[in-house]
Amino acid sequence: MSKDYYNILGVDKSASQDEIKTAFRKKAHEHHPDKGGDAEKFKELNEANQVLGNPDKRKQYDQFGSAYQNGQAGGAGGYGAGYGGFQGGGQGFDFEDLGEMFGGFGDIFGFGGNSSRGGSRKQSRGRDLEMKINLEFLEAAFGLEKEISFSKNVTCNHCKGNGAEPGAKVDTCTTCHGSGQVSRIQRTILGNIQTQSPCQSCSGEGKIYSKKCTKCEGSGVSHEHVSFKVKIPAGINNGESIRLSGQGEAGEKGAPAGDLFLRVSVKDHKKFIREGYDIRTEETISIKQAILGDKISVDTIHGEFNLKIPEGTQSGTVFKLKEKGVTKLNNRGIGDQYIRVVVEIPKGLNKKKAQLLAELDI
């Protein structure tokens, strides 16, 4: 009987590969035998993931159903019995996923994880940070240098990030003998397997300090207020972000710092409207100016400019001022300004003016 792998994983047929992977991880956590789950359900989940997690197999399954596997599953025995085989090319268990979920498979079969055999635990990179930065309209258009202030984890200046009190004695951990890892036997659906995990005595460092840093208590980082200047590039727009590499929170025990992302918020201008790198404005002219033509002074972000109004200009006409807009990012040129003129129709004319206008017969 054909199995509904989509129903087993609890996803729609239109689910993306990432959604399928996420669904498998969630249900595998729930049904893993070591966590009191159903071993048969876990095997069924893995079978569904082997098929739907592989784009080629998924395509065949969508066309023929699970019956397409008949005659080609060919379990190779050993570990593969009943699981479709631990085959290459991503057709069997995803050891990296299982290693992340259950702590051990990745170390056993050499698929990475948070530690490597024979070496101490790799410290975590610092967190990325995001903060909002408010800019005036013209500040965003022309750029500037702006000072920002906030609090974050920084490398401890007392221990220089190593977590030990200056002058403290440093010994090799007697529990893991400096490897940073300890071995243990883990019961799995495949039987008892020896796994490795970070040493709890030294937190995976392989070293023991006679005295932890009195300022950071051994973490290597301290929470402090920082201030520095940031160069805001000309042409930055509302909603865009600036990435400052290494300006996020400090990593543990000398690990690399994260990044800082500045999310830009630009205040509206009472006169100028920005569209990309172009500026749009509106000017009002009289009937006389529209009929006879004139020169008017208009505002641009670069200062005042004299605009020639040709005779016979109609209301709604748009004039283009080349390179009077916003400087494009990375100095790729300058936008333009577009000025829409509106002809003002006078109200409440006295008899004399009304008679003169009537005599013009226009």
Other CB atoms within 10 A of residue 164 CB: 21
- pLDDT classification of 361: cutoffs 50, 70, 90: low
Tens-digit pLDDT profile for residues 225-246: 999 999 999 999 999 999 999 9
Quote the CA–CA distance of 326 and 333 in Å, as a whole number: 9
Ordered DSSP codes for 185-205:
EEEETTEEEEEEEE-TTTTTS
Q: In sequence order, which ranges of 11-79 are alpha helices (DSSP H)? A: 17-31, 39-52, 55-64
Quote the CA–CA distance of 8 and 46 in Å, as a whole number: 10
Mean pLDDT of 149-172: 89
Contact criterion met (CB below 8 Å) for 256 and 125 = yes
When the pLDDT of each residue in the chain is averaged and rounded to a whole number, the result is 81
Tens-digit pLDDT profile for residues 12-64: 988 898 888 888 888 888 887 766 778 788 888 888 888 888 888 888 888 77
Alpha-carbon dihedral angle through residues 24, 30, 33, 36, given to the nearest 10 degrees: 180
Domain edges within the chain: 5-93, 128-154+219-267, 273-360
Other CB atoms within 10 A of residue 257 CB: 22
Alpha-carbon dihedral angle through residues 11, 17, 18, 23, given to the nearest 10 degrees: 30
Mean pLDDT of 259-278: 96
Which CATH architecture describes the domain 128-154+219-267? Sandwich (2.60)
User: Residue 232's Cα: distance from chain center in Å?
Assistant: 20
Strands (E), the chain: 129-135, 144-155, 170-172, 181-188, 191-198, 207-209, 221-232, 241-244, 260-266, 273-275, 278-286, 294-300, 303-309, 318-321, 337-344
Return phi, psi of residue 98, to 5°. -65, -35
Tokens at 49, concatenated: 């993931």
Q: Name residue, tokens 């039987």.
A: 191
Mean pLDDT of 103-107: 43
Q: 209 pairs with which residues across the strands?
A: 170
Is the model's pLDDT at 304 over the cut of 50? Answer: yes
Q: What was the pLDDT predicted at 212? A: 87
CA angle at 323 for the pair 286 and 299, rounded to the nearest 5°? 35
Examine domains 128-154+219-267 and 273-360 and report if their fold is the same.
Answer: yes
Quote the CA–CA distance of 199 and 155 in Å, as a whole number: 24
Contact criterion met (CB below 8 Å) for 193 and 108 = yes
Other CB atoms within 10 A of residue 29 CB: 12
Return phi, psi of residue 145, to 5°. -105, 125
Q: Which of 179-183, 209-213, 255-259, 337-341 has the largest mean confidence? A: 337-341
Domain 273-360 has CATH 3.30.565.10: no
Which residues, other chains included, contact 64 with Cβ-Cβ below 8 Å and sequence gap of 6+?
Answer: none
Quote the CA–CA distance of 57 and 86 in Å, as a whole number: 16
Q: What was the pLDDT predicted at 187? A: 72
Q: What was the pLDDT predicted at 162? A: 83
Domain 5-93 has CATH 3.40.720.10: no
Closest CA to 241 of 126, 127, 130, 128: 130
Tens-digit pLDDT profile for residues 130-149: 999 999 999 999 999 999 99
Contact criterion met (CB below 8 Å) for 250 and 259 = no
Quote the CA–CA distance of 79 and 86 in Å, as a whole number: 7
